[in-house]
Structure formats: structure tokens, C-alpha cells
Amino acid sequence: GELAARYPERLHVQIGYNEPLAHRIEAGSDMFLMPSRFEPCGLNQMYSLRYGTPPIVHRTGGLADTVIDAGSPRDKSRNKAPKDSNGFVFAPGTEAAMRTAIGRALDYYRDRRRWNALCKRAMRAELGWERSARQYLQLYQTCLTSPTR
């Protein structure tokens, strides 16, 4: 509160839960840091993806299932991101690994063409049940057609 009072044009503090404001902040951000140590599902990274706010997440639970790492732009052997990448993933859950992922995100951000392409991929991410349902159906069909032991 003290810093917000001293710098009202640069900092705002709001204590309490306000879901509409949380969505507005997330939608208006350039990137979203979610360094959860444990996350069985995670909705915020999905909101970020839908809003075109690439998430930076620790590889755990639902975060690992939904965020596809864009890779390192400094790695000359990979001159483009995976076609379905939508954010940045780090592991292990250490400060050093998180800082490296943030640095990779900032490198992408500096290349506006590449950043905009990443944001568009993020917004196109399949987050509904359709993909999971197709995968389950394929698994069931494989089990039905494979010989039993």
C-alpha cells in the first residue's frame, strides 16, 4: 500500500477477489507468469491462451498438458518454434529455470512478427473436450481391434 500511495500513476494495489478485474488484467497483459509447484488442472493458463497472453509456466500437472513450449530462440539448431507452441515452459521449478524461461519469452517479445504469431497460436489452442474425446475414442478403438492375450 505504501508504494501505491507514493506512486499512484505507476502502481495500484487491490486486496481481495475480483474475477472480472482478474480477467481484464490477464487479457491486457503481454505475458502471464504461472510458476505453480502443483497444479492439477489450471484455468488461468487457459484464459491466457484464449486472450493471446502467452503463459510462462512450470512443467507440472495441467500446465504441462496445455502449454507447449516455444523453444529457445537462441538455439541455432531450431530456427522456428514448434507449429503448435503457445507459451513457455520451465523445469525444474527453480528461480534459475524460471528466469531462463522469462528471458526466452522476452527474446520472443522483441521480435514482433514472431511474438504476434505465438499469440495467434495461443488463441487457437484447443482447450475443449473435443481433442480429449478424439484421443479417448482412438484409444478405445485400438483396444477393441487389438488381439487379446
What's the confidence (pLDDT) of residue 42? 82
User: Which residues does 117 contact at the CB level (< 8 Å), separation at least 6?
Assistant: 81
Between 74 and 134, the more confident residue is: 134
Cα 59 from Cα 32, distance rounded (Å): 15
Q: What is the pLDDT of residues 36-72, one digit of tens each?
A: 998 888 899 999 999 999 999 999 998 998 999 997 6
Q: What is the pLDDT of residues 101-138, one digit of tens each?
A: 999 999 999 999 999 999 999 999 888 788 778 888 88
Cα 22 from Cα 16, distance rounded (Å): 11
CB atoms within 10 A of CB 117: 16
pLDDT greater than 70 at residue 21: yes
pLDDT-derived band at 78, boundaries 50, 70, 90: very low
What's the confidence (pLDDT) of residue 79? 46
Strand ranges, E, within 15-140: 32-34, 55-58, 88-90
